[in-house]
Structure 1
Amino acid sequence: MPSQRKHPARHTAPAAAPAGVVYGLLADAPRWPVLLPSYVHVERVDFDGAQDSLRLWHLRHGQVRCVLARRVLHPRERRIDFELTDPLLPGAPTHGSWNVSPQGGGRCLVTLCQDAAAASGQGPDMLEAQVRAQLAAVVEAAERWDRLDELLLSFEDSLHVTGSPEIVYDFLYRIADWADLVPHVERAEVTEDVPGVQRAVLHTSDPGTGDTGVVESVRLCFPAAGRIVHKQTVTPDPVAAHYGEWSLEPDASGVRVACTHQVMLREATPAPGAGARPADARRHVREWLGRTSTEALTLARWHAESALRRLR
Structure 2
Amino acid sequence: MATYHTKHDITVEAAADTVFGLVADVAGWPQVFGPTVHVDLLRDEAGEQLLRIWALANGEVRDWTSRRTMDRAAGTIAFHQVVSSPPVASMGGKWIVEQLGDGERCSVTLTHDFEAIADDPDAVAFIQQAVDRNSNAELAALKAAAEQQAGPDQLRFTFSDAVSIKGPVAAVFEFINRADLWPQRLPHVSRLDLTESVPGVQRMVMDTRSPDGSIHTTESVRLCFADRGEILYKQLRVPPVMSAHTGRWEFRAAPDGLVEARSWHTVTLNPAGVREALGQEASMDEARQKVRHALGTNSLTTLRHAKQHVEMPLG
TM-score by length of 2: 0.90
State yes or no: 1:238 paired with 2:244: no
| Map of 1:284 onto structure 2 | 290
Identify unmatched segments of 5+ residues in structure 1.
none
Give the counterpart of 2:309 among 303, 306, 312.
Answer: 303
Alignment of 1:220-235 (within 5 A): 220-235=223-238
CA contact (8 A) 1:54 1:69 kept: yes
CA contact (8 A) 2:34 2:138 kept: no
Runs of 4+ in 1 over 6 A off after TM superposition: none
Question: Cα distance, 1:74 vs. partner?
Answer: 1.0
Q: Quick one: structure 1 residues 206 and 128, their matched pair in 2 at CA, closer, same or farther if it must change by over 3 Å? A: closer
SS at match of 2:272: coil
CA contact (8 A) 1:39 1:57 kept: yes
| Map of 1:49 onto structure 2 | 46
Query: RMSD of the alignment, in Å?
Result: 2.1
| Map of 2:93 onto structure 1 | 96
State yes or no: 1:268 paired with 2:272: yes
Alignment of 1:1-312 (within 5 A): 4-84=1-81, 85-89=83-87, 92-103=89-100, 104-119=102-117, 121-123=123-125, 126=129, 127-144=131-148, 146-207=150-211, 209-253=212-256, 254-270=258-274, 274-275=278-279, 276-309=282-315
Q: State, as a whole percentage, how many aligned pairs show the same letter.
A: 34
Identify unmatched segments of 5+ residues in structure 2.
none
More divergent stretch after superposition (252-261 vs 137-146): 137-146
Alignment size in residue pairs: 304
CA contact (8 A) 2:87 2:116 kept: no
TM-score by length of 1: 0.91
CA distance in 2, matches of 1:133, 1:291: 32
CA contact (8 A) 1:175 1:190 kept: yes
Query: AA paired with 1:268?
Result: A
Question: Cα distance, 1:132 vs. partner?
Answer: 3.1
